[in-house]
Amino acid sequence: MTRAGARRRTAVPALLAVALALVSLAGCETVRAARAGPGQKLDPWENFNRKVFAFNESLDANLLKPVATAYVNVVPQPVRTSATNFFGNMLDAWSAVNNVLQGKFQNAAQDMVRVGTNTLFGVFGVVDVAADMGFDHQYEDFGQTLGRWGFGAGAYLVIPVLGPSSVRDAIGIPFDRAASPALLINDGRTKIGVTLLQLVNTRATLLGATNVIDEIALDKYTFIRDAYLARRRSLVFDGDVPQSPDEQGAGGPESGAATATEGGASAPEGGASAPAARPPGPSASAPAAPSAEPAASAPAAGGAASTPTQ
């Protein structure tokens, strides 16, 4: 064997090793770019949040999603829609309270008309009669109310079982839970049953959205985080998100998240009216959700009396 041939045989593996190293570096940079989404500045607890996110994903994959899938396969669509409407009727009443607190009295009146109509003529909200009469949902939760009062979102936070949130929205969760029908029931077993039904029904409405996220998201955590922050900011300002000159020039963290990912919320299954207030269970904010707070898409409420600065 000549020296030239030996050199060529030695050079080929070396070139392959260099090529593989470059491909690996490019892949690492792609992942870093995906993780460094516009919401990263609002995520100082990312290491902790990712661990909770991984726990929630495991819980969902091994328990909640299979149960929700079986629920969809066994329970007919009209029955699932009726369950969604029933829980949504309670949230309409809570939404009316929040609309009053935000000074949106016209929206609050519409919520009360929905609650009265669906309770009296829709069998306690099982049938959404008000929607057929042109009275649409005006979902507002206490996290949005705090936002309208001028409270910033604070740091992004992933809550065990409940999913994506923020410091502000986490403060509102106990108040929003007051809108659950389960809290009005004294019998322990019945209360647990209603809570589990609400959890499984909510997860079932998000099956399509989470399947899409699984397919398109390079980094699912970042995708959900940015979509959630953008959607929540949009809901607080009823879709008319203000941008100060500083935000336009420097790309403020919240405005950046809203600009990059706003508008990706997924519609709920089967046309059922899905609440924007946080339901129990993991929120797969479907850009979303965001949210999909995540969770299902909800129309932005109009008629804001004033626009606070976050």
Mean pLDDT of 32-42: 57
Please determine, for residue 151, whether its predicted confidence score (pLDDT) is greater than 80: yes
Residue range 32-46: mean pLDDT, rounded: 67
- What is the structure's pLDDT at 96? 95
The b-or-e profile of 233-254 (16+ CB within 10 A means b, else e) is bbbbbbeebeeeeebeeeebbb
pTM here is 0.67
Range scoring the smallest mean pLDDT among 115-124, 174-183, 213-222: 174-183
Mean pLDDT computed over 170-191? 86
What is the model's pLDDT at position 41? Answer: 83
- Considering only residues 270 and 156, tell me which one the structure prediction assigns the higher pLDDT: 156
- Residue 25 has what pLDDT? 40
Share of the chain above pLDDT 90, in %: 54
The answer to whether 265 and 292 are in contact (CB under 8 A) is: yes
**pLDDT grade for 148, boundaries at 50, 70 and 90:** very high
Average pLDDT estimate for 277-288: 45
Axis crossing angle, helix 65-74 with helix 207-216, rounded to the nearest 10: 130
Yes or no: say if 252 and 261 are a contact pair by the CB < 8 Å rule: no
Within the chain, what is the greatest distance between any pair of CA atoms?
A: 96
Q: What is the mean pLDDT of the chain?
A: 76
Q: pLDDT confidence of 101, banded at 50, 70, 90?
A: very high
pLDDT confidence of residue 23: 37
Position with higher pLDDT, 299 vs 83: 83
Q: Check residue 39 and give its pLDDT.
A: 60
The reported pLDDT for the residue numbered 127 is 94
> Over 90: is that where the pLDDT of 175 sits?
yes
User: 3-class DSSP state for residue 164?
Assistant: strand
- E strand or H helix at 203: helix 188-205
Instruction: Tell whether the model's pLDDT for residue 164 goes beyond 90.
Output: yes
Helix (H, G, I), strand (E, B) or coil at 147: helix
